[in-house]
Amino acid sequence: MSRHPRLENPVQMAVIGAPHGISGEVRVKTFTGDPMALGAYGPLQTEDGRIFTVTSVRPAKNIVVVRFGEVKDRTAAEALTGLALYVDRSSLPTDLEDDEYYHADLIGLLVIDETGEKVGKVAAVHDFGAGSIIEITLPSGRSTMVPFTRTAVPEVDLAEGMIRVDSLAAGLEEEPEAAHGSDEESHHFDPTSRPRGPSAAGGNR
């Protein structure tokens, strides 16, 4: 397999999972807003310069099944499990709005609450059809989901490497009446309101 020079400004687009079938297809977790758009930005590249060309993509639950032109059989596919795939940032659109972000830029950011206390780190960004959801890994190792809306996430600061959440709107703490045993249902923020970011190329609108 040919190797290219390392990318100057890599943006992770996907990670390869287990093989699917015997013909070389693999399960892939994408970090693109539209998983089916994985092949729209040209060949994907590994950290060590290997090139993978997407020839087909089809949906499969929360992942996609991908065929790469360079992977011919299951044996070759098995050697790729866990491999991260990148494109150079120059391959991605640059005309983002002020509140639009690429998924890859959000992953790994520190999450703090309105008091400045650490909540955790962004582990993933999901879109289950009703707006983007941020998965946060808590210090305990557990994960929690927060709607990626202006109310729940009022601040994103890529330069500082952090996002700020509103604990109540994000569902991280109960409303006062719920905390005191009210029969009212606890607060659930509607993730369909004001979804943020571009839908293609790893965005979140």
Q: What is the pLDDT of residues 182-198, one digit of tens each?
A: 444 444 444 444 444 44
pLDDT at residue 129, as a whole number? 60
Total-model pTM: 0.61
pLDDT at residue 90, as a whole number? 84
pLDDT at residue 2, as a whole number? 62
**Structure tokens belonging to residue 89:** 């940032």
Q: Which residue has the higher pLDDT, 174 or 166?
A: 166
- Read off the pLDDT of each residue in 44-59 and give the average, rounded to a whole number: 94
Environment class of 2 (CB within 10 Å of its CB; exposed 0-12, middle 13-18, buried 19+): exposed
Q: Has residue 205 got a pLDDT over 50?
A: no
How far is C-alpha 41 from the chain's CA centre? Answer: 17
Q: Tell me which amino acid residue 157 is.
A: D
- Residue ranges matching CATH 2.30.30.240 in the chain: 93-205
Contacts of 196 (CB under 8 A, 6+ apart): 99, 100, 101, 132, 148, 149, 150, 153, 204, 205
CATH annotation of 10-91 = 2.40.30.60
List the 63-68 sheet strands across, edge first: 51-52, 44-45, 84-88, 10-20, 25-30, 63-68, 54-60
- Read off the pLDDT of each residue in 26-36 and give the average, rounded to a whole number: 87
- Read off the pLDDT of each residue in 137-164 and give the average, rounded to a whole number: 94
- Residue ranges matching CATH 2.40.30.60 in the chain: 10-91
Domain 93-205 -> CATH class: mainly beta
